[in-house]
Every structure is written in structure tokens, then in C-alpha cells.
Amino acid sequence: MLPVHTSIMLDTRRQLKDGTYPVKLRITYLRQRKYYNAVYNNVNCTLTESEFEKTQGSKPREVYKKLQIAFQAIEQKALNIIKEMPVFSFDEFEKRYYNIASKNDIFTALDRHSEKLIASGRVGTAKSYENAGTSLLSFIHKEPLTKNKGITIKKALERREQLLAKRKPLPYSSITSDFLSDYEKWMLHNGNSITTIGIYLRAVRAMYNSAIADGEVSPDLYPFGKRKYQIPAGRNIKKALTIADIEKIFSYEPKTDSEAKARDLWVFSYLASGINIKDIARLKYRNIDGNRVTFIRAKTERTNRQNIKSIVAMIPTEAQKIIDRWGTKPTHPDNYVFPILQEGITPTKELALIKQATKTLNHYMKRIAASVGIEKEVTSYTARHSFATVLKRAGAPIEFISESLGHGNLRTTASYLDSFEDNVKQQYTAQLTAFSKENE
């Protein structure tokens, strides 16, 4: 068998909010690398660079000595597994590395899936799986981790670490319909939204389905579905603006370059088929051909591998002016259109830059909305909903709107479409009593 290399390392690709990095077991085989969390005291171990160096010394002291011993045990476990394997494969290694006890643990399943998502560049989705596990743990110990006023970030992180230290395996059999119903009530009581609950429990359901498919859990235990527990679906909050409010944004005279850039990116999103900030950030000049821009939504490029659809959006004159004003130079095909991302960055860094760009845009759009007298909240997401809703009100077929948004089905599009304005409703309602005078 070709050599398989193991090492304990500090994964500095993803810094956590408290300034630490995850400690990982790295396995290298045929130039391919995979990473596995180093667990210490039932929680994933994270350290600063200086703390990790202390665990690597010849004579570490106190807790660093304990960590060194724990890391050596983790690596030795991996070496023993590899030695017993007649032919090495990562899939077989993982089956042996994660023992039977951990297979029947939803926390471990969420951790493992989160790691796979990070490895494939889906950092944002990975975070939702990680948060789902933390939320379940919070529910079990009745220690809410919501951001309360007066609690510093440092204090919140300390509370989270204390909670994680209490983590024990949560068997799939414990996740019953009653457990899920109680979890939902507890989450709502502590100020969480139906949308958040839905995101976390869809992650749990995905792990449950995977465990059943792998033969690790009996289908009879499945707690989801009709006559069992049904994951709540958050109601769509109407985010679209009226055409009159959109005109106010177009006509607004920015007071600063920051306001101007935020307003222009919002307008570009609105005009270019409701393209979201992540896809705007990823646009390169090769995506633009004359007055058309062609792109694949980042949100669907991995989930619809068998039916990847390109979105073709027209670029009206105003959108082209925005590219001319803020676009990077030179206009080389491989250059990003807007200076939000850089080449060669990690998925984690990309996510951070996109989040910052979104936060900045939303900050200035809130100020602009207040200045022009728009009472609704105006965010990057509002541009996408407004694009769809304005087309609907103009009589555009829902099939055209769906194609423009890059949706896989019309039902998804329908959830985007806002209600008609009150004056339109009044016109139709008036017909209910428009009795003919001949009947009087």
C-alpha cells in the first residue's frame, strides 16, 4: 500500500471569532488531503497559534501537556486504523475512525457534514449545520445563546464554550416528534424566528435521512413527516418596493462616494434580473457580452449539478453606466467586474468579503431609504424581490420571471412575488358592489 501520512496541525484557513483556529488531524494520500476535527473533552479543540506551538514543544506544561497527549492519541488512533486497512481509502478510513458510538450521534453527523461542506467551499452552508448542532445542545441544557443586550461578544463566546464542554452524544432515537415540537416551542420562546428553526431542523432531517440510507438508523424511528413532526415554513415577508419608491432611489443624489456606490450596486441588482450580491461579486468581464450578462447562480451551481442553468440578463444603459463608474480596470476577461473579491482567496475569505459588502450596502441603503421617505426596509434582498414584483405588476408571465430569477420551479417564484398595491386591491374590491342600476 502506498504511504499514508498523518499529522496534527492548526487549520489557519478559518479563524474563529475568538481569534482561535481549529486543530485538525490531517490525512494525506496520493496528494489528496482531508481534515478531521481534533476532539478534546468531547468538544472540537481550537487554539491560538501561540497556544498550539506550546503543545508541540518538548516539555509542555499543565494543560498543554494534556493537549499534547490527546493529540498524540488521536494521531496514533489514525495510524492504527490505517495499519489495519488492506487498501486505503478515505471513505473506509472515515467509517473506522468514527466509531459505532459516534455514528449514532447527531452532533458528530452535523460536525462531519460541516467539514465536508467547508472542504467543498460551501462555508456559509457549513455554518448552518454547525449552528444547528449548537442550537440543539443549547435546547438540551436550556441555556439560550441568543444575543442579549448587555452581553459582550467575549462573554457570549465564553458561554458558548462552557456549553460545548457539556456536550455528550445525542442518539437519533432521542430525536422524536415530541422532542422536535418542544425544541420549536423553546426556540420561539427565546426569540428565534420560524425561518431559523426551519434552517436548523432541515439540517437535522438531512442527517437523519443520511443515517437511514447508510443503514445506521431504523426508518421506524424517523420523526418527520405527516402525522409526525413537520418542519415549519416561514411566511414570506413582503420585501418588494412600489415603482414609486424605486424611482425615489434612482433619483436620489448621493452625499458621499460610499452612498453612491451602495445605491448603484442596489440599482444594478434590480436591473440585472435581481442578481444577488454574491453573484455580483463573482461576475467577471467574460460574463458580459454586449448588453447581456450571463452567469450561474452560486446558490444553485452545486445543488443542481444535473441541470445547471445559466441566467441571461439584459444590461440596460443605466446598468452599463454603473459598470463604467465602479468597474475594475483593465476590463480583462478574467478580471472581476466589481472590486469586491480577489483571485486566489479561500472560500472562508470570500464569504467574509461578500458579507462585508452586503453589510455596507445595507447600511447605506437604510440611510438612503430614510432620506427619501421610504418606510419599508431596503436591503440587497429588496432589489431582487422588487425586480420580480414589478415585472409581475407589469403583466410579465410568471414563466419569464422564474427564468430570469434562475428558479427551478414556478412555486419558488410565486413565493417571491409581492402582493398588489392597495389601490389595485381597492379597484378589484369595488367590483364586488358594482351593481347595475337596472336592478335597483
Average pLDDT over the chain reads 84
Stretch 52-66: mean pLDDT: 88
Query: What confidence score (pLDDT) does residue 260 get?
Result: 96
Q: 312 or 229: whose pLDDT is higher?
A: 229
pLDDT tens, position by position, 193-203: 898 999 999 99
CA distances from 112 to 115, 117, 126 (A): 5, 9, 10
- For residue 330, say if its preceding peptide bond is cis, omega within 30 degrees of 0: yes
Torsion of CA 66, 72, 76, 77, to 10 degrees: 50
Query: What confidence score (pLDDT) does residue 438 get?
Result: 47
| Alpha-carbon span 114 to 198, nearest angstrom | 17
How many residues appear in the chain? 440
pLDDT tens, position by position, 122-167: 778 888 999 999 999 999 999 887 655 556 666 766 777 777 777 8
Query: What confidence score (pLDDT) does residue 238 get?
Result: 61
Query: What confidence score (pLDDT) does residue 152 get?
Result: 64
What percent of the chain is modeled with pLDDT above 70?
85
* 3 state DSSP class of 19: coil
Residues 45 and 23: beta-carbon distance below 8 Å: yes
Examine the pLDDT at 228 and tell me if it is beyond 90.
yes
pLDDT tens, position by position, 265-278: 999 999 988 899 99
Stretch 87-103: mean pLDDT: 74
| Alpha-carbon span 413 to 421, nearest angstrom | 19
CA distances from 145 to 79, 181, 362, 364, 385 (A): 38, 19, 25, 29, 31
Q: What DSSP string runs through 369-414?
A: HHHHT--S---HHHHHHHHHHHHHHTT--HHHHHHHHT-SSHHHHH
Examine the pLDDT at 178 and tell me if it is beyond 90.
yes
Could you tell me the residue ranges of all domains in the chain?
A: 1-97, 99-235, 243-425
Examine the pLDDT at 344 and tell me if it is beyond 70.
yes
Query: What confidence score (pLDDT) does residue 302 get?
Result: 60
Query: What confidence score (pLDDT) does residue 316 get?
Result: 87
**Which CATH superfamily groups domain 243-425?**
Intergrase catalytic core (1.10.443.10)
